């Protein structure tokens, strides 16, 4: 009786490997019309393009147009964050379209040692002030999901939630290893609710329009767009070198789509991203397409609804989303207790995407055998499954940092 509808769905989902339907995956290196793809040019010019277009129009949804204006402003800066270890910057980014604007805020920490540092860029779930105990980080004024444990009521964040998510962001580890962090509260791009009157979508409406068209962007695509526009600032900052886009869960889905659509991201890290992220839809293990479209009707384009309980008719599967990131470094991670996200489906995707990395002479995941728990495989495509729940832990960051280190030169 006290189950939320999502909780109920989670309790009723299939977690039995023997009940995974038999399926044939669409081959990443065979075009929709049946032609084999044998080299980088055919991949880039034909196959990659058609896969990207499919995901754009039929899964996440197209961004309808270009912005009219883009701007950013340094709001605050310090040379003395984390006990003098880091520089801090807080940047306002403003997007303008049809005389309407939206502003979102990026918090950046950079290690003081290097004049130019690689950074991880990732959204947070409850506001920039939740990722650190630093009292100088501004509290978001945007709509935030209520959370009793964090003292968030009336959808407003306050001091009570400062630092409540520090465990998900190993900031000192990043700094000590020469990496920076850039983070943004995702609700400032598009509040995570089934309401298209607000957020970045609303800037693009024509007179009388109240929601995106059938094959236009849902929230995941909007969040990816926000990351991409954050990249405009990051590439202009002389203190920043490469940017690895990171995300957990729904934001891990957004990070994958951002990496697929914007080649300026040097690498992608997607933590426990599950259905609509790294997990193969055809496995129907844990969360399914029908389920995600029911619980979160605003995440995908409306055109994706036709694949509810109909995965086998999808001309693509999620391994092809991963392949769009090739040849750039890609790290997918699962958690043992996170069955809802289908760890095996997340792993198999990395394996089936790897043939595209092979076209570039890069090493992906070479065996279909899932690695043991807490035994990462780290090639240009990397994967680990760790003990524990759906979350981001120090273990994850230790591995992301170690792996990213080999690609920062």
Binding residues vs ligand GTR (CB under 6 A)? 6, 249-250, 274-275, 287, 292, 295
Closest contact distance (angstroms) between CB of 50 and ligand GTR is 26
Tell me if 274 sits within 8 A of 342, measured CB to CB. Answer: yes
Rounded to the nearest whole angstrom, what is the least distance from the CB of residue 299 to ligand GTR in the complex?
8
What's the angle, vertex CA 277, arms to CA 231 and CA 191, rounded to 5?
A: 60
Nearer to ligand GTR, 61 or 274 (CB): 274
In whole angstroms, the minimum distance from the beta carbon of 69 to ligand GTR comes to 31
Find residue 90's DSSP bridge partners: 76, 107
| Residues in the chain, total | 409
Sequence-separated (6 or more) residues with CB below 8 Å from residue 311: 23, 281, 282, 284, 288, 289, 317
* CA quadruple 160, 166, 168, 169: dihedral, nearest 10: 130
Give me the least distance between CB of 383 and ligand GTR, in Å please: 19
Contact 71, 233 (CB under 8 A): no
- DSSP, res 298: T
- The CA distance from 325 to 353, in Å, is 9
To the query of whether residue 384 is one of the catalytic residues in this protein, the response is: no
As measured in angstroms, the least distance from the Cβ of 295 to ligand GTR is 6
What are the tokens at 401? 């940092």
If the CB atoms of residues 176 and 337 are measured against ligand GTR, the closer one turns out to be 337
Cα 317 to Cα 200: distance, rounded to the nearest angstrom: 28
Q: How far is the CB of 306 from ligand GTR (least distance, A)?
A: 19
The catalytically annotated residue of 241, 249, 303, 349 is 249
Strands (E), 129-274: 180-185, 240-248, 267-271
Closest CA to 76 of 100, 106, 48: 106
Half-sphere exposure of residue 408: CA atoms within 13 angstroms, side-chain side: 20
Least Cβ distance, residue 281 to ligand GTR (angstroms): 12
DSSP string, 360-376: TT------SSPPPTT--
Residues near 344 by beta carbon (within 8 Å), at least 6 away in sequence: 17, 283, 285, 370
Catalytic residue among 158, 295, 355, 390: 390
Q: How far is the CB of 268 from ligand GTR (least distance, A)?
A: 17
Strands 240-248 and 267-271, how do they pair?
parallel
Of 275 and 404, CB closest to ligand GTR: 275
**Beta partners for residue 245, in sequence order:** 121, 268
Pair of tokens at residue 359: 């076209």
What pairs with residue 380 in β-bridges? none
Annotated active-site residue 249? The verdict is yes
The residue (of 123 and 400) whose beta carbon lies closer to ligand GTR is 123
Tokens 């306002």 -> residue: 92
Compare residues 198 and 391 and give the one whose CB is closer to ligand GTR.
Answer: 391
Give the residue numbers annotated as catalytic, written as ranges. Answer: 249, 390
């Amino acid at each position: 009786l006290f189950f939320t509808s999502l909780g109920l769905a989670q309790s009723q989902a299939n977690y039995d490997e023997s009940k995974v339907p038999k399926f044939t995956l669409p081959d990443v290196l065979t075009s929709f019309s049946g032609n084999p793809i044998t080299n980088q040019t055919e991949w880039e010019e034909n196959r990659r393009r058609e896969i990207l277009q499919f995901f754009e129009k039929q899964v996440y949804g197209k961004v309808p147009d270009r912005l009219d204006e883009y701007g950013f402003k340094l709001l605050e800066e310090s040379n003395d964050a984390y006990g003098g270890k880091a520089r801090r910057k807080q940047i306002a980014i403003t997007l303008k379209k049809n005389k309407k604007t939206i502003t979102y805020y990026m918090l950046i920490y950079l290690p003081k040692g290097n004049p130019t540092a690689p950074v991880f860029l990732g959204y947070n779930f409850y506001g920039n002030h939740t990722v650190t105990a630093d009292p100088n980080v501004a509290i978001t004024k945007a709509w935030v999901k209520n959370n009793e444990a964090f003292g968030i009521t009336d959808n407003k964040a306050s001091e009570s939630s400062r630092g409540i998510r520090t465990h998900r962001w190993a900031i000192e580890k990043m700094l000590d290893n020469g990496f920076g962090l850039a983070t943004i509260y995702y609700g400032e791009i598009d509040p995570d609710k089934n309401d298209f009157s607000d957020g970045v979508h609303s800037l693009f409406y024509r007179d009388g329009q109240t929601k995106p068209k059938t094959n236009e962007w849902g929230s995941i695509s909007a969040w990816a767009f926000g990351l991409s526009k954050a990249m405009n600032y990051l590439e202009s900052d002389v203190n920043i070198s490469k940017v690895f886009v990171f995300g957990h869960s729904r934001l891990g889905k957004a990070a994958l789509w951002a990496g697929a659509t914007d080649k300026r991201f040097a690498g992608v890290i997607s933590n426990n991203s599950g259905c609509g992220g790294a997990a193969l839809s055809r496995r129907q293990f844990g969360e399914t397409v029908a389920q995600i479209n029911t619980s979160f009707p605003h995440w995908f384009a409306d055109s994706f609804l036709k694949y509810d309980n109909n995965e086998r008719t999808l001309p693509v599967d999620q391994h092809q989303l991963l392949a769009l990131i090739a040849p750039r470094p890609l790290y997918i991670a699962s958690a043992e207790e996170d069955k809802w996200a289908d760890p095996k489906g997340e792993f198999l995707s990395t394996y089936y995407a790897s043939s595209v990395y092979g076209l570039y002479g890069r090493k992906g995941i070479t065996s279909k055998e899932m690695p043991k728990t807490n035994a990462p495989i780290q090639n240009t495509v990397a994967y680990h499954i760790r003990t524990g729940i759906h979350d981001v832990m120090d273990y994850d960051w230790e591995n992301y940092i170690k792996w990213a280190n080999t690609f920062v030169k």
